Amino acid sequence: MILRRGSALGQWRRISIRVTVVTGVVVALTLGGPLEAGATHQAADGVLSGGEWLSAGESMSSPDGRYRLELRRRSGLVLYDTAGVSTADIAALFGVRAGHQAADLGFIANNFASVAVWSQHARGAADPMLEMRHDGNLVLLDANAPAAAPIWQTRTDGRPGAVANVRDDGTLAVGYAGGPVLWAAGTSTPGVGLSGVAHVAYGLSAQRVWLFEADGTLYDTYPVTGRHSLPGPGRYAVFSKSVRSRSLDGSLTMEHMVRFTHGRNGGAIGFHSIPRTLSGAPVQSIHDLGEPGSAGCVRQQDTKARQLFDWAAIGTPVVVIE
């Protein structure tokens, strides 16, 4: 029920009644029905618009019905792939190779198993609420303390008219209908093999940045403008920062530069705000973010550039992926 307007499997590491797989993000195999009693609710249009929310025990699904976002008491948000896992995966998990037991496990895989591809913990809130605000920010709140700071948020405020939905590609996304995606998590969230340390991932093809906390929590993700071929995929680290900087030829100014490698000409490559000419005109619109267009540095919306500048300490790993 939506209240409106004002109101890849890795190593199996632990087996119990429910089986949990950890691959950088939480992946879970749930056997049986929902953890909570009661019906599962879904928005008629599968979209959370400004002023709408999900309460604990409710869910919303992708248009094709395969992916389902559930809001669970205490555990928080979980995005499931309801296609489950194969009979072979189930059989291998329990050490069953053939016979009727494998068939039984296949029945479980086909009818009861869901794989969680992304989750966000509610930090113990007994009555969490997921609210899409009118300013475009998707926030996870404690319904018993709605005035308190959000437990979690997509940090997409300042974008009125944005909506949240679960997409057929297995992502929970915030963006505009038929327009740019401002934030996304789920099957599109990259795992880069780092744990225990805050780090940045930058996708050359996606032209998108992901910020991960040390515990693996997705702090933020947003579109950027860089270059498809530079820098090359690999692991780098933040080595210097400047509140203000200029291009090599001195014709452009940038703010909140976070440098992490060097280009072929020896110049530094980093994350920074959208450059401006000496007269103050931006060289591109924020609506162009998500498409390549720079000489090598990574352009961000001004607020995101400032956020990354404050968030990423010297030495923070930066992983560039295709």
One-letter amino acid identity for 134?
H
Q: How do the domains of the chain map onto residue ranges?
A: 12-186, 199-321
* CA 191 remoteness from chain centre: 11
First to last CA, the chain: 39
Cis status, amide bond into 231, omega within 30 of 0: yes
Of 115, 118, 48, the closest CA to residue 76 belongs to 118
Which positions ≥6 away from 88 have C-beta within 8 Å? none
**φ and ψ of 99, to 5 deg:** 90, -170
pTM: 0.64
- CATH code given to domain 12-186: 2.90.10.10
d(CA 223, CA 2): 29
CATH class of 199-321: mainly beta
One digit per residue, the tens of pLDDT, for the chain of length 322 reads 333 333 322 222 222 223 333 333 333 333 333 333 333 334 556 799 999 999 999 999 999 889 999 999 877 999 999 886 555 555 555 555 545 455 555 555 444 567 888 899 888 788 999 999 999 999 999 988 878 889 999 999 988 999 999 988 888 999 887 777 888 888 778 878 788 899 999 999 989 999 998 988 788 888 999 998 899 999 999 999 999 999 988 899 999 999 999 988 888 999 999 999 999 999 999 889 999 999 899 999 999 999 999 999 999 999 999 9
Q: Residue 23 has what pLDDT?
A: 33
Cβ neighbours around 19 below 10 Å, total: 19
Q: How far is CA 86 from the centre of its chain?
A: 26
Q: Using an 8 Å Cβ cutoff, are 205 and 322 in contact?
A: yes
pLDDT at 226: 95
Other C-beta atoms closer than 10 Å to the C-beta of 197 total 12
- Antiparallel, parallel or unpaired: β 268-273 and 298-300: parallel
Which ranges in 13-138 belong to alpha helices (H)? 87-94, 100-111
As to burial, measured by CB atoms within 10 angstroms (0-12 exposed, 13-18 middle, 19+ buried), residue 154 is buried
Distance (Å, whole) CA 219 – CA 210? 8
pLDDT of residue 68: 93
